[in-house]
Amino acid sequence: MDHFALKDGVLHAENVPLPQIAREVGTPVYVYSRATLERHARVFREALDEVPDKLIAFAVKSNPNLAVLKVLQNQGYGADVVSVGEMRRALAAGIAPEMIVFSGVGKTRREMIEALEAGIGQFNIESEEEGLELAEIAEGMGLTADCALRINPDVDAGTHDKISTGKGDNKFGVPIDQAGQIFGKLASQKGVNLRGVAVHIGSQLADITPLESAFAKLGELIAGLRGAGHTITHVDLGGGLGVPYRKGEVLPSPAEYGAMVACVTKDWGVKLIFEPGRVIAGNAGVLLTEVVRVKRGLNNPFVIVDAAMNDLARPALYGAYHHFEAVTPTGESMIANIVGPICETGDTFARDRQCDLVKSGDLAVFRTAGAYGATMASSYNSRGFVAETLVDGDKFAVVADRVGADSFINAERVPDWLE
């Protein structure tokens, strides 16, 4: 069931016609569907019904909007965070500190202190150096930090190079063949309670076989660690499940993923932690934009929209595909280059794309923009940040204000000595 569908020839988010949002909030604007977020959260949870003891920690980086986090908190989700900024958001959305997992290769001392003070559930340590530092800080505060050691399993996730995280030469985690030794060293530190291992091999995985290989390697490691006398009670399996970006594209379902996880981990006897991001939020959002004008090109025309690479960076950054669709389609199509107004050729959403026919003033959406959309925005070309809205049935709310260029100008100073 798609909550972004045509009704009487007009694209709606649930029961709200998108032209209404454009009229009241302006464009570009992100539109999220509460019903979709809830459905995805439920489907992912139900896919893991066979896993007796688990925490599903939403990857906040994929969509950190407070209202989105609140929807997921209501669904019993915790949070996977990679900065204290994300931690503060999770806490502000009412997620209990013990349901927060802190990942990331570059946690600063200040961040460790704040997370320890907040009493978060688990630190995923990404190096021996980080573990020793955290142990020293926690001990100094009279605390013991519950931790897992992130393992780099040297598995190719088969996804885009820039979002692969589990290959041997990626910056994440510790090499699996050094894990036993590092685990032993950190386990003897008073400030940390090293109780598990963690893995995350990449994002937008179109095949679960690499995940299965990584989990199998983790299983062997766990057996080895237990054999060496360590107690392993928690294992974090990360996120990574891909979602369809193209119409008709079929990817492994949460149910297939869940069945694989249940099979690989059945004898582990641990609490499993999951960190899904995209699979929950990706198809729960669109970026609504207006066509500024259509310009003749050398070959195909340029459809210039008011959204740009600063609002949705994925096409410029990864060459990612986002489906482009008219809000009031006529049934006719065109072949066009879909571009934003930014002064870079890279500000191109699609080249030579067969798409709905649009003209100046028409509304259109980029689909699958609920994850790694607004969260990756920049203010390049002094465009500010676009607004975000959440639809619920036949109502909607602005859940993030548009931040205009003036906010940035007001935050800047010209020193007197330049006057």
Ligand X SMILES: Cc1ncc(COP(=O)(O)O)c(C=O)c1O
Residues making contact with ligand X (CB under 6 A): 59, 62, 80, 103, 165, 200, 203, 238-241, 275-279
351 labelled ligand-binding: no
E strand map for 203-347: 234-236, 271-274, 285-295, 302-305, 324-326, 333-339
* Phi–psi pair at 338, nearest 5 degrees: -105, 120
Q: 231 φ, ψ to 5°?
A: -100, 120
**Residue 367 labelled as part of a binding site:** no
80 binds, among ligand LYS, ligand X, none (CB under 5 to 8 A by kind): ligand X
Q: How many angstroms separate the CA atoms of 315 and 313, rounded?
A: 6
| Residue placing its CB nearer to ligand LYS in the complex, 61 or 323 | 61
User: Interface with ligand LYS includes 152 (CB under 6 A)?
Assistant: no
User: Taking CB within 5 to 8 Å according to partner kind, which of ligand X, ligand LYS, none is near residue 164?
Assistant: none
Residue 344, annotated ligand binder? yes
Phi, psi angle pair for 345, to nearest 5°: -65, -30
Please give the torsion angle defined by the CA atoms of residues 201, 203, 204 and 209, in that order, rounded to the nearest 10 degrees. Answer: 10
Site string for ligand LYS, 329-368 (x = CB under 6 A): ----------------------------------------
Q: 80 or 347: whose CB is closer to ligand X?
A: 80
Which of ligand X, ligand LYS, none sits in contact with 276, Cβ below 5 to 8 A by type? Answer: ligand X
77 is in an annotated binding site: no
Instruction: Give the shortest CB-149-to-ligand LYS separation in angstroms.
Output: 18
* Nearer to ligand X among residue 88 and residue 160 (C-beta): 160
Q: Are strands 333-339 and 302-305 parallel, antiparallel or unpaired?
A: parallel
CB crowding 183-216: b at 16 or more within 10 Å, else e? beebbebebbbbbbbbbbbbbbbbebebbbbbbe
Could you tell me if 388 and 30 are in contact, meaning their C-beta atoms sit under 8 angstroms apart? yes
- Which residue of 124, 203, 348, 368 would you call a contact of ligand LYS, by CB under 6 A? 203
Going by their DSSP bridges, the two strands 122-125 and 324-326 should be labelled as: unpaired
Is residue 325 helix, strand or coil? strand
Give the strand pairing for 271-274 and 234-236. Answer: parallel
Taking CB under 6 A as the criterion, which residues in 364-393 touch ligand LYS?
372
User: Of 147, 263, 343, 355, which one is the catalytic site residue?
Assistant: 343
Is residue 204 a contact point for ligand LYS (CB under 6 A)?
yes
Q: Which does 314 bind (CB under 5 to 8 A by kind): ligand X, ligand LYS, none?
A: ligand LYS
- Size of the residue set binding ligand LYS (CB under 6 A): 6
Helices 84-92 & 109-118 angle (0-180, nearest 10): 20
Instruction: Quickly count: other Cβ atoms within 10 Å of residue 253's Cβ.
Output: 15
Q: Contact 212/264 with Cβ under 8 angstroms?
A: yes
**162 to 201: interface string for ligand LYS, x by CB under 6 A:** -x--------------------------------------
| Residue least distant from ligand LYS (Cβ) | 372
Indicate if 355 belongs to the active site: no
Q: Which amino acid is at 237?
A: L
Contact string 294-333 vs ligand LYS (x = CB under 6 A): --------------------x-------------------
Please check if 393 is assigned to a binding site. no
Q: How far is the CB of 360 from ligand X (least distance, A)?
A: 36
Has 240 been labeled as part of a binding site? yes
Q: Annotation-wise, does 372 bind a ligand?
A: yes
Inter-CA distances, 159 with 126, 254, 339, 362, Å: 22, 18, 25, 34
Residue closer to ligand X, measured from CB, 159 or 348: 159
376: its two tokens: 């990756």
Indicate which of ligand LYS, ligand X, none lies near residue 392 (CB less than 5 to 8 Å, by partner kind). none
Minimum CB distance to ligand LYS, residue 138 (Å): 26
Q: Which is nearer to ligand X, 61 or 195 (CB)?
A: 61
Residue 75 and residue 56: Cα distance in Å, rounded? 10
Element housing 53 (H / E): none
- For tokens 């940390």, the residue is 192
Q: Please give the annotated binding residues for pyridoxal 5'-phosphate, written as ranges.
A: 240, 275-278, 372
Active-site positions?
343
Q: Please give the annotated binding residues, written as ranges.
A: 240, 275-278, 314, 318, 344, 372
Residue numbers of the site for ligand LYS (CB under 6 A)? 61, 163, 203-204, 314, 372
Q: Please give the annotated binding residues for substrate, written as ranges.
A: 278, 314, 318, 344, 372
